[in-house]
Structure 1
Amino acid sequence: MEQKNSKIYILIVVGMVSALGPFVTDFYLPAFPSLVTYFDTTASQVQLSLTFSMIGLAVGQIFLGPLSDKFGRKRPLVISMFFFVLSSVACVFSPSIEIFILARFIQGFSGAGGIVISKSIATDLYGGKDLAKFFSMLACVQGLAPICAPVLGGLLLMVTNWRGIFGLLVLIGLLLLSVLFRFHDSLSKENRLPGELKERFVYYKEVLWHRKFMYFVLIQVLGMGVMFSYIASSPFVFQEHYHLSPVMYSICFACNAVAIMLGSLSVVRFRSNEHALRVGVCGFMFLCCCTGAALCLELSVIIIEIVFFLFLFFLGIILPTSTTLALNLERQNSGTASAILGFLTFLGGGIVSPLTGIGNILYSTSAIMFVCCVLILVCTWRVLKMTRA
C-alpha cells in the first residue's frame, strides 16, 4: 500500500497515541493525597479511580482491536480520541468521587484505542527490518512515558492543582485529535476484514484453552499486579508516610521506572528466555521478601528506595520474557493473543490496586506483593516443567 504520511509523522503520531496509556495511569499519581482531601474520601476510593481507568484500558483493547480490523484504523482512533477529550473534561469538573471514577473508566477505555491500534498501524505500513526498527523506537517512547508522566505531574502540582493535570490531558487530547485528522488510514478498504464483526471474537476461546500459553499470561498478569500495587501505593508511602514532596516522589518513581527498563534491556544477555525467566523469578522472590521486610519495619526512605529499585529491576526481566514466551506459542493468532494478554494484565492490575488501601498501607502492599510473587514462582515452576517434558 502506498504510504501517504511521512515516516516522521507516523512515528510521532503513533508514539503519542501509544503513550496515552501510561499518561492515563501515571500522570495524576502525585495528586492522590490532594484528591483524598478535595473529595473528602478515603485512599482506597481514590485508588478505585486508578482501578477503573485500568479496567477501561483492558476492556477497550478487546473491543477496539477488532473494530480497527473491520472499519480501518483512522475512524476508531479519532472516535476514541474524541471520547478521551470528553472524559478528561468530565474529570476536571467532577462534583464527586463517584463521577470522577466513572469519567476515569471512560478515559481508560478511550485511551486503549491508542495502545492497540498503534501496533496495527505499524504492522500495516512496515515489514521485516523496518518493522523491527519502528517497534524499537516505539518501545523507547513507551518506556519514557511512565517515567516522564509522574515527574511532569509533580512539577505541574507546583504551579496548579489536580484539575490542572487533567486540564493538560484535555489539551493533549485536542492536539492529538487535530493531528489525527491529517492521518491517512493505513488499512485500505480492500484489506479490511469482511463479514460480521462477531466473527473476530471466535478465536478468543481457542487461545484461552491453550494451557501453556495461559501459564505465561498468568506470570505476566501477576507481575503487572505487583507493578500496579506499587503504582497505587507509592504516592501514599513516599508522600504521606515519608513526607516527600511531589517532586521528590516523582524522582523516586522515575528511578524505579528506569530500574524496570534496565531489567528489560538485560534480557538479551541470557542464553534463552526460559533462563532469563528463571533468574528473574528467583531474584524477584528474594527482593520481594526484602522489600516487604523494609516496609513493615518502616526503615529509612533511602533503604526503601534501594530495595524497590532492585525489586523492580527483576520485574523488568520477568515482563518481556513472559510476553515473548506467551506470544511465541500463538503466532497464528498473535492479534487475539495480544488482546488477551493486554486485557488480563490491566484487569489484574485494576483488581489489585485498591487492595493496597485496606488497613495499614505498608502491611497491605507487602502482603499483596508477597502473594503475587509466590504465585509467580508456582506458575513458573509448572510451565518450565511442562517445557522440559
Structure 2
Amino acid sequence: MASERNTTAAKMNSRLFLLITMGMMSAFGPFVTDFYLPGLPALASYFGTTTSWVQLSLTSSMLGLAGGQLLIGPASDKYGRKGPLLLSMALFIVSTVACLFSWNIESFVFFRVFQGIAGAGGVVISKSVAADLYQGKELNDFFSLLMVINGLAPIIAPIVGGFVMKYTDWEGIFLILLLVGIVLFAVSFRFRESLPAERRIPGSVFNSFGKFVPILGNGRFMHYVFIQTFSMGVFFTYIASSPFLIQDHFHLDAFAYSLCFAVNASGMIVGSRITPGFSSVFSALKTGVFGLGLSSLAFVSVLVTDGGFYLLEALLFAMMTFLGMILPTSTSLALTLERKNAGGASAIIGFFLFIFGAIVSPMTGFGSMIFSISVMTLACCLLALLFLFIAGKNPRPPA
C-alpha cells in the first residue's frame, strides 16, 4: 500500500514540491495571525479601542479557521483537494482587501472571520493531502518535515511584522498579507489533485458531512485530538498574551518582541525534528506532553515570582520545543485511525484546535494578565496529560 501511494505521489507532485507547497498552506492560517501580532498595541490605538477588542480580532480569525475547516474538509473529500484550495485562496484575497478598508474595530473583527475561513482551506487540505499519499511512520516523518516548513512562518512573520511596524502601520502589514495571498493563489494552480475520483465520497456533498458522526464516535481518534487541542491551548495563551506581556510588562519594543517570538517559534522546529528518532510515534508524543507539563510548571513559577525575562524566555523556548513534538505525532496517530475520511478527520482536528484557541485568546485580557496566563497554561497541560493517560490505556494503531 505504501509503495502504491509513493508511486501515485511520484506521478503527480514531487515530494519536495508537496513539502514546500503544503507547508506554506498549512502555515498560512497561523501566519495571518502571527504576522500582525507586533501591531496589536498599535491597532488598539488606531481604532481607539481596548486590549480585549483587539484580542477579539484573534478570536474571530480562529472562529473562521475552526468553522471553515468543517466546511472545506468534507467538501474536499467529495470534490477533491484542488478546487476548494483555489476557492480558499481567492476568499483570502477578497477578505484581506475588506480588512484594509475597515472603518472601525467591529468591522475589522468581522472581516477577520472570513480571513480565518480562507486560511482554513490551507490548514485542512495540507493534512488531507499528506494522508492521501502517505501512511504509518512515513506519514509521521512527512508531518515532521511539514512542521519544519510550517515552523518558519511564526519565525519569519513577527520579525517581518516588527520590521514593517518601524516604517509603516498595521495597514502595511495587511498589504503584505494581500501580496502573499496572491502568490499562494498562483502556486495553487500548479498543485495536482491528490484524491482521485474513485476515492472520493460518492453521492451528494451531504454524505461527506455525514461522516462527521462516526469520526466523532471514534474514541481513540478523539483522544489524540484532545491531546493536541489542550496542548495547543498553551500556545494560544502565549500568542494572545505575549505582545502585551513582552512589550508592556517587560518594556521591549515591537521589533525586539518579534525576535523573541521568532526564537521561541524555532523551538517548534527543533521539537519536530526530534520525533523521528523515537522508537514509536506514541513514545515521542508522550515525551512531548510530559515535557510540556514540566516546562510550563516552571514557566508559571518564574512568571508569578517575577524571576526575570531571560529565564522566562528560556522556558518559553522549551515549551515550544515540546509542542513541536506533540503536533506532528498527535496528528499522525489521529489520521492513521481515519484514513478513509481524511478530509473530515482533518477538519475535526482543526475545528477543535481553533475553536479552543478562540475561547482561550480573549481570556488573557481579563483581570490580571499574569494570573490568567498562569491558570490557563496549567489547566491546559493537566487536561493534555489526562487524555494522554486515557490514550495510553487503549490499544494504539501501529506507528
Q: In structure 1, how many angstroms separate the alpha carbons of the residues matched to 2:236 and 2:29?
A: 13
- 2:368 is aligned, of 360, 370, 379, to 360
Q: In structure 2, how many angstroms separate the alpha carbons of the residues matched to 1:206 and 1:135?
A: 25
Q: Do the aligned partners of residues 218 and 127 (structure 1) sit closer, same or farther apart at CA in structure 2, a change above 3 Å counting?
A: closer
User: Residue 195 of structure 1: SS of its match in structure 2?
Assistant: coil
Aligned AA (1:356) = T
CA displacement, residues 308-342 of structure 1 (integer Å, 9 cap, x when unaligned): 11222223233333333333333444433222112
- 1:23 is aligned, of 7, 22, 31, to 31
Contact persistence 2:162–2:254 (CA under 8 A):
yes
- For the pair 1:279 / 2:256, whether they are aligned, the reply is no
Contact persistence 2:231–2:289 (CA under 8 A):
no
- 1:95 is aligned, of 103, 116, 119, to 103
Q: TM-score, normalised by structure 1?
A: 0.89
Q: In structure 1, how many angstroms separate the alpha carbons of the residues matched to 2:356 and 2:380?
A: 11
User: Residue 244 of structure 1: SS of its match in structure 2?
Assistant: coil
- 1:109 is aligned, of 90, 93, 117, to 117
User: Residue 166 of structure 2: SS of its match in structure 1?
Assistant: coil
**How many Å apart are 1:31 and its aligned residue?**
0.5
1:61 is aligned to: 69
1:216 is aligned to: 224
Q: Do the aligned partners of residues 89 and 383 (structure 1) sit closer, same or farther apart at CA in structure 2, a change above 3 Å counting?
A: same
Aligned AA (1:142) = N
Q: In structure 2, how many angstroms separate the alpha carbons of the residues matched to 1:369 and 1:128?
A: 31
1:174 is aligned to: 182
Aligned AA (2:238) = Y
Contact persistence 2:145–2:273 (CA under 8 A):
no
1:339 is aligned to: 347
- 1:201 is aligned, of 205, 209, 221, to 209
2:250 is aligned to: 242
- For the pair 1:143 / 2:151, whether they are aligned, the reply is yes
Q: In structure 1, how many angstroms separate the alpha carbons of the residues matched to 2:212 and 2:313?
A: 40
Q: Do the aligned partners of residues 106 and 317 (structure 1) sit closer, same or farther apart at CA in structure 2, a change above 3 Å counting?
A: same
**How many Å apart are 1:13 and its aligned residue?**
4.6
**How many Å apart are 1:95 and its aligned residue?**
1.3
Contact persistence 1:228–1:352 (CA under 8 A):
yes
Q: Do the aligned partners of residues 138 and 377 (structure 1) sit closer, same or farther apart at CA in structure 2, a change above 3 Å counting?
A: closer
**How many Å apart are 1:248 and its aligned residue?**
1.2
Q: In structure 2, how many angstroms separate the alpha carbons of the residues matched to 1:139 and 1:117?
A: 15
- 2:173 is aligned, of 156, 165, 170, to 165
Aligned AA (2:85) = L
Aligned AA (1:344) = F
- 1:37 is aligned, of 38, 42, 45, to 45
Q: Do the aligned partners of residues 214 and 127 (structure 1) sit closer, same or farther apart at CA in structure 2, a change above 3 Å counting?
A: closer
Q: TM-score, normalised by structure 2?
A: 0.87
Q: How many residues are matched?
A: 388
Aligned AA (1:116) = V
- 1:266 is aligned, of 257, 262, 274, to 274
Q: In structure 1, how many angstroms separate the alpha carbons of the residues matched to 2:180 and 2:31?
A: 10
Aligned AA (1:280) = G
Aligned AA (1:245) = D
2:3 is aligned to: none
Q: Do the aligned partners of residues 10 and 219 (structure 1) sit closer, same or farther apart at CA in structure 2, a change above 3 Å counting?
A: closer
Aligned AA (1:268) = P
- 1:314 is aligned, of 322, 335, 353, to 322
CA displacement, residues 358-387 of structure 1 (integer Å, 9 cap, x when unaligned): 112122111100111122222222332344
Q: Do the aligned partners of residues 236 and 125 (structure 1) sit closer, same or farther apart at CA in structure 2, a change above 3 Å counting?
A: same
2:160 is aligned to: 152
Stretches of structure 1 that go unaligned for 5 or more consecutive residues are none
What RMSD over aligned residues (CA atoms) do the two structures have, in Å? 2.9
- For the pair 1:226 / 2:234, whether they are aligned, the reply is yes
**How many Å apart are 1:242 and its aligned residue?**
0.6
Contact persistence 2:299–2:312 (CA under 8 A):
yes
2:94 is aligned to: 86
Stretches of structure 2 that go unaligned for 5 or more consecutive residues are 1-7
Q: In structure 1, how many angstroms separate the alpha carbons of the residues matched to 2:20 and 2:387?
A: 38
Identity %, equivalent residues: 49
User: Residue 158 of structure 1: SS of its match in structure 2?
Assistant: helix
Q: Do the aligned partners of residues 140 and 288 (structure 1) sit closer, same or farther apart at CA in structure 2, a change above 3 Å counting?
A: closer
Q: In structure 1, how many angstroms separate the alpha carbons of the residues matched to 2:280 and 2:14?
A: 37
CA displacement, residues 337-361 of structure 1 (integer Å, 9 cap, x when unaligned): 2221121111111111111111121
Aligned AA (2:67) = V
User: Residue 163 of structure 2: SS of its match in structure 1?
Assistant: helix
**Stretch moving more, 10-19 or 77-86:** 10-19
Contact persistence 1:52–1:102 (CA under 8 A):
yes
CA displacement, residues 216-244 of structure 1 (integer Å, 9 cap, x when unaligned): 21111101111111111111111111111
Contact persistence 1:22–1:149 (CA under 8 A):
no
**How many Å apart are 1:122 and its aligned residue?**
5.9
1:326 is aligned to: 334
